[in-house]
Structure 1
Amino acid sequence: MKPTTRGTLAAVVTGVAATVGAAAPAVASGTVPVPVPLGGVSTALGTEVPRLGAELPLLKPGAPDGPRYVTGRLLPDRALPQLPVTSGLPGLGARAPLPHLLGEGFDHVDVDSPTGDLRALTPGLSSDAPLTAPDGGEFGLPGAKVPQVGVLPPVLWTGADGNVGMGPGL
């Protein structure tokens, strides 16, 4: 194997290992922090700039409820089951400096919205065939009936929270 190929392979393996190592804590906590680096802007302009950061939640699909068999129906109750999904609302953290109008120094405005729980169910489908169950009175043949189809609506549960505040200093 050539040295250039060996070096390229080592760089790819190192990059993959770094990505997996960085992703493991995010998967364990359920959110991915997204800092906004503005330190260079503060140094270049010689002034205070806002501090920004966010948290993006990871989607976690759950196990769907299987079809439910009901006596007297040919098809199961929920032919297309609803899939539960849990996640969170994105979080935001911002802190902006407020300069004093008549003096030296800064105060700050702080906006904080932590991640909130979010649970959802995808739409589902329930249907029944246009035939009844076989009947002993009609030589074991099924009878005709009106077909039934129902759409199970999506469901969403969540609660948002946030704080806004002002204070002295940065």
Structure 2
Amino acid sequence: MKPTTRGTLAAVMTGMAAAVGAAATPAAAADTAPVPVPLNGVEQALHLRTPHLAGELPVPVPGAPEGPRYVEGRMIPEHALPRLPLAAGLPGADLRTPLPHLVAEGTDHLGVSAPAADLRTLTPGLSLDAPLGAPNADNFGLPDARMPQAAVLTPLLQTMPGANVETGSGA
């Protein structure tokens, strides 16, 4: 193979690899995955207008857990079982159905749109403290005894969903 042929082949392969990499990046970085519901076959078989239905499913993204924090005066670090953050979303839906002028003249469709909403969560965690405190100089260096402590850190769930309902002309 000639050097010019090899160079051309290398340039074409490099361009194809860049194109495939660029095409794969947006799909991998998407927050939601679209889910279309095909109803065209029903529309053609029954000879009537069918609703348009589509959905969005969120792609969950785990975060980095908070590590244990060492606090002065405690034998066991704070947050012994760390909470794991998880960012995703609530599923979304888009429904558009034809109406036979039931509401008013010129009203041809009813649409409901509920876009995917962001969702932030934290899993439950555990915080413990030993029944022994820090060494006490007044007690010849022996630690003070105290009641053991245990706390369950509650899970966190934050979101703000919304929806739109509309009627109007057009399909």
* TM-score of the pair, normalised by structure 2: 0.79
Query: What amino acid does structure 2 have at the position aligned with 1:92?
Result: A
SS at match of 1:99: coil
User: Secondary structure of the residue that 2:66 maps to in structure 1?
Assistant: coil
**1:64 matched residue in structure 2:** 65
2:125 and 2:76 map into 1 onto residues whose CA distance is: 15
Which residue does the alignment assign to 1:78?
Answer: 79
Flag structure 1 segments of 5+ consecutive residues without an equivalent.
Answer: 1-20
Mapped partners of 1:167, 1:37: distance in 2: 23
Q: What is the match of residue 39 of structure 1?
A: 40
> Where in structure 2 are there 5+ consecutive unaligned residues?
1-21
Corresponding residue for 1:133? 134
Q: CA deviation at 1:138?
A: 3.2
1:145 — aligned with what?
Answer: 146
Take 2:147 and 2:101, find their aligned partners in 1: how far apart are those partners? 75
Cα offset, 1:168, TM superposition: 1.0
Partner of 1:123: 124
Q: What are the superposed Cα offsets for residues 7-66 of structure 1, whole Å, 9 maximum, x if unpaired?
A: xxxxxxxxxxxxxx9986443111111100000000000110001000000111111111
CA RMSD, Structure 1 to Structure 2 (Å) = 2.2
Q: Aligned partners of 2:23 and 2:58: how far apart in 1?
A: 16
| TM-score between both structures, scaled by the size of structure 1 | 0.79
Partners of 2:107 and 2:167 within 8 A in 1: no
Q: Give the corresponding residue for 1:48.
A: 49
Alpha-carbon distance, 1:82 to partner: 1.1
Residue matched to 2:162: 161
Offset of residue 142 of structure 1:
2.1
- Distance in 1, matches of 2:113 and 2:24, equals 24
Deviation of residue 136 (structure 1)?
3.1
Q: Deviations over 1:113-136 (max 9, x none)?
A: 111111111111111001112233
Aligned partner of residue 131 in structure 2, secondary structure: coil
- Partners of 1:30 and 1:23 in 2: CA distance: 14
- Equivalent residues, number: 148
CA contact (8 A) 1:97 1:106 kept: no
Report what 2:91 is aligned to: 90
Per-residue deviation at 1:111? 0.6
The answer (yes or no) to whether the contact 1:27–1:58 under 8 Å persists in 2 is no
The whole-number CA distance in structure 1 between the counterparts of 2:129 and 2:79 is 9
Aligned residues of 2:107 and 2:168 also touching (Cα < 8 A): no
Q: Which amino acid aligns with 1:83?
A: L
Structure 1 SS opposite 2:146? coil
Q: Which shifted more, 137-146 or 107-116? A: 137-146
Which residue identity lines up with residue 140 of structure 1 in the other structure?
Answer: G
Aligned counterpart, 2:109: 108
Matched AA of 1:32: A
